[in-house]
Structure 1
Amino acid sequence: MAHPLTHDDPAHLGPYRLVARLGGGGMGTVYLGRSPRGRTLALKTMHRDIAQLADFRTRFQLEADAARVIGEHHGALVVDADPLAETPWLATEYVLGPPLDEAVSLCGPLPEATTRVLGSRLCQALSQLHSSDVVHRDLKPSNILLTATGPKVIDFGIARAAGDDRLTRTGAAAGTPAFMSPEQATGQEHSPAGDVFALAGVLVFSCTGHGPFGTGQTADLLYRVRYGEPDLTGVPQELARLLQRCLAKDPQSRPGAGQLAALLHDGDDAEFADHLPDAVHAEILRRSVAVWDVRPARSAPPPEEPAETHGRPSPAMTSRRRLLALAGGGLVAAAGAGGIWAWTRPSGSDEPPSASTPPPAAPASAPEPNWQFKSSDSGAPTPLLTERRVGVVVAGGKLTLLSAGGEVVGTEADVWSAAADEGRIHGLQGDACELAVLEEKTGRFAAPVADVRDLLGSDVTGPQVAKILAVHKGTVLVREEEGGLRRTCMALDAESGKKLWRGKISHEAVVVAKAGELLVLASASDGEVWAIDVETGKEAWSRKFSLGYGREIRTSGADTEGNLYLNLDEIIAVRAKDGKTRWRFGKGRAHKAESSDLAEYGAPVAHDGTVYALESGNGVVALDLASGKLRWELKLDVASRIPLDAVPVVGDRYVYFPSGGTSLVTAVDVKKRRAAWTSVGADKEAIPELAWHRETSQLVVATDKRVFGLPLK
């Protein structure tokens, strides 16, 4: 319930003393606090990095406003807020009751009568929101607290005015997949009818312990929400018929919140507490007592790593280490030639590491692979991930489907191009270049939905016909692979194969990122980067950058804030929605690549408020996501020659940097700011393509010789 404060948590927010942590996530932290008069409160903050972004600060203000709209009867009373503080905060009453998901987990599914009165009360809460033109957009069991006086709806982090989609285009989270409405899952307007859809899912969970669309990877959940029938197993028959109406795919077919409240009400006007099972009452009482047992506590800071000297550190060394720790620095160390070493220095300083400090131990070897697949076919394999399958490789026209353990579960011949999106594999197969989707259960393609050769009007057969550039938002972007410098490009509906639009596109164009409704493309010949609307094919923006011929721009995709990070002679942060520059990094730094075959910067990757990239001749640079300022840097010998097409990935703990030769992958622990391990490659093994498979906690590595999975738990 409550956890000690960390060593770097603030002692106060405004006039309120912080006592403990209640929870946290990617956006911020929730604390237990006390007012000067002893009142217990919940205080929500934003992470400082996110708070620097105007869109997210506006979102925080809207959250406070929405919490005030719902009021203390249906929500947590807003006591105070300061959205303009350096670290914005919101103080509400501390609600003495468990979230619905915890209540069901502890006490079992709720009886039908309890579920009905719960739903009726929640309809009243939604009606109050909707009457003020506010939609919640993230109604789910964990956002509903059960108290003796009734349920309370919390967490309005993505609530907004109906019809206002400005803040959904920032790249922030837009809901919880298991309880999203179909229209929300496809990026359309989430109206009050969407909240009704989510409420129906909550009530299914209340009386069964499971959601209407099951569990699993995000892509599968969104697919079921959009196209699948809800699982109402265990829902009482009469209630199931009502919830079926609320779960209709068409928003117009759902009842309104007020109408639903009347349909759920069974005529029993007893107090809400009278409907709660005894076990839920006991949990409410336990929490009411436990909150006063919480005593202020703070975890100790992580211990400093001891200086690696043969004797006691000198006072000068000790002072310097303390200064570096206070400045957010890391271990001061050096290594011999060819080693991997780290240092911390002020931005722009050329001061070398202390020569008196002995070298740290070399990074450990990588974990042994869980599995390894070697293809006898020509051509470099490419990993394409789904929920249940770790890798799909296309080599020499043969597609091989692998299980989580690396076992071959299916193969298809004559697959000339394939791409994955939302956990589904789409491929072009056969002489007619037919578009089809791969079925995971069978490892085979379903019936084709389009004859791409016929749609292109081409008389060419085989792999020269077409290539899938990308699959995005249910649209497959295909380009013909024979012809002039500008070739025919088509967008096809992934489900029906219907042609959506047709145009011309450079033969060198590659898709480098997906952002909202946009696909961002780049060309190797002239440094041009542009974005097109995937639904219409219309160009949203275009820019040209200074770039040597043959030097492709690579990115790790758009981050959650909707930004791209381009690796040119500088790192350039670009807004994906309009192509405007946010910041640049690298001017004046010594980082010249040895040849045109190497990059001055590797493809940057963003994670948790920081952008990481390899800098030629130096190592890893860690930049502030909002400003582009250098936070810290780490010397790595693999940065002496950065391949043009090396794209890193981010896992739960490490950033993984690919390279060629003997050091295939280097894992960098970004918290400890050191190289954790290196995966050794075979002689002349090509630069790997990396893919992070969260479902099985594996790093999938694909070179020209093999595909293997590294365990990362």
Structure 2
Amino acid sequence: MPSPLTHDDPHGFGPYRLIARLGSGGMGTVYLARSPGGRTVAVKTMHARIATEAAFRTRFRLEADAARVIGGRHGAQVVEADPLAETPWIATEYVLGPPLDEAVELAGPLPEASVRALGAALCGALGQLHGSDVVHRDLKPSNIMVTAHGPKVIDFGIARALGDDRLTHTGAAVGTPAFMSPEQATGGEHTPAGDVFALAGVLVFAATGHGPFGDGRPADLLYRVTYGEPDLTGTPAALAPILAGCLAKDPAQRPTTAELSARLHDGGGEFADLLPDAVLAEIGRRASEVWQVVPQRLPAPADQPETVPMADVPAAGGLSRRGLLMAGAGSVLGVAGAGAGVWAVLGQDAPAPGPGTGPGYTKPKPGPSVGALKKKKLDSVWQKQTGGPDDDQNPEVPMVAGDQVVLVAGAEARGVDPKSGESAWTFSLFADDSWQVASDGERVYQILRVENGQDLMTKTVSWFLAPVDLRTGKAGTRIAPVSDSRHNGIISRLLAVADATAYLAISHGKVKSHERLSRWSVTAVDLASGRRKWTDPVPFHPAKSDDNHFLSAKASGNRLVLLQQMNDGKVRIVARDTRTGKVAWDKPWDGADSRYVRDPLAVDGRHLYLGYGPLRALRLSDGGQAWDTSSVRPKKTYGPAVLKGGAVYAVEKGLGLVSYGAGGGKPRWAEKSAEGPRADHVVRPVIGSEYAYTYSDTDKVLRAVGLASRTTEQLYTTSGTRFVAHEKSRMVIASGPHFLAGFPLR
């Protein structure tokens, strides 16, 4: 539970402002913090008294490395870290959910189906670690967070690479006695089989409420782990022999994580559907609680002056509206935002949040979602507990792919039926990076990682462009290599796919301590033949930048339009000739903030349409301005543009939805709703045949604006912040940090 800051806690670390304490121990303190953009994170620090010790600093750095390896799907995603700072710190996503030990204390032993799903997911987490030659060494219930999407493994303080004995020595038992393996308890080598032993102990605890070797003094526990038989009393009969095999004293007799996963669970169903109501309610409570935390700092003792250490953080200020939108990705839902998602799933009896009732607000015509929601009834046609990507990732997510939509988040791609929200397939990505997958609207392609060889010393990794089978999610025949001896390609981005051509950005250079690389090229690959049509370099980008060089991309006709972030953080619009790869024109986007202009680009055969300032059209031929709205609506600000039927649509700040002719910029119409000024201009609207859909963050509603009446005719409560039209199924797909939902598109 969050507690107030003490008088001598710093203001922050890096760009993160501290707002509360989450806990403190012998090694350091964990804080709740927020970024300038509003993202909520957990910041783990090291106590100053041990930060001077080289061994502790090394262990802290290795902890950050291990957390990066496991990634955001199976662990708390590392947002930023500075192990070399005077006070080392790691910022990770704030995980929404209780530790497993608290979940069992709250709800009692978990049902067998829950334990099986929990175990299979943890096998995936450990398998990812072991695949990178890292072992956890301290898996226990308090190090496993239970979320609506699945468990997340945290606390890698004693994790290490296989064979690395720099921080330990033979004969030293390091870990938690109740969940140690026999070889670990006797100071021997802890291999992946030791993590399997610990996992079995965790699952026994989840199923029974007690560990397989009881509790008591550490010496007694170590003896029972080494020589005693496990106590499986209360373990479901079908699970007992599986877990007993994992608790074998001989590591060679234990199954691998892949073998154990196959015995536990078939991989079907949603994790949240298998959790007890009490655990789901606790997840929902934590989701809403975090935004209610008010920063507090305890006064200094009477005999000490009131001083707070200075820290290198930006000046405190109000969060921008866009910043609040960005806050949810990878962290938390807002209180009202949780209403339409967590509230409905958990089936609480309180009324769901609805539209505002401030001055000048007129209640629109009631739609399917305006009335009070009944227990477990959603405002949407369907809703699933599947989170979307961070706002700094591919803006085309969710992406339309034939009869499906594809969600890419948390190192996983997922094919979703837009009519029901059911997952058709999933596949894992090498990292939490949505730029590894792209669609041309009908087909999906991915950057595929392939390992060559088994020997760790000689094993190599290659990358290929490959299609995705939309029936199974499996990679098809490899089209072309992305990395080879000539083109290198240590990091790559699949920018866009159009007209049977894939456009990729490929980096070149040496990897240095998790820093981004400096040299990039853009490459076009013919999807039919696999031939590289052309390769052309892009300007230098700083190696130490944690931001993507590419913010958005779109291919149309003979132009590939890219938004590129430069060394100084400014944004440039670069148009390349799709036939040769040469830059046709390159111009700055004056005043554009690289954090906010990550939207799908509105491009047709003639123009690129831009908002974030006046609404304007740039000629694709030479980049010159064809028209803007300054002459008819001076000093007005617009959000991202959307094209539909020869018209450009955008939300004008303080007015609502507007439409202009795409050819010459002639005004067509403007929204007349009293609630139009409440529409968030930075959220891209969706245009149907009868309605246009805009979002209000203030009310947490998706508004259906009649294209004929030009007024709001329907309201839908939503926790989504990204919206895309799937016209084949006549659905609007809403993606948020923790939920995916479908609404009718008309």
Asked if Structure 1 and Structure 2 have the same fold, meaning a TM-score greater than 0.5 normalized by the shorter chain, the answer is no
Name the TM-score, length of structure 1 as normaliser: 0.42
Q: TM-score, normalised by structure 2?
A: 0.40
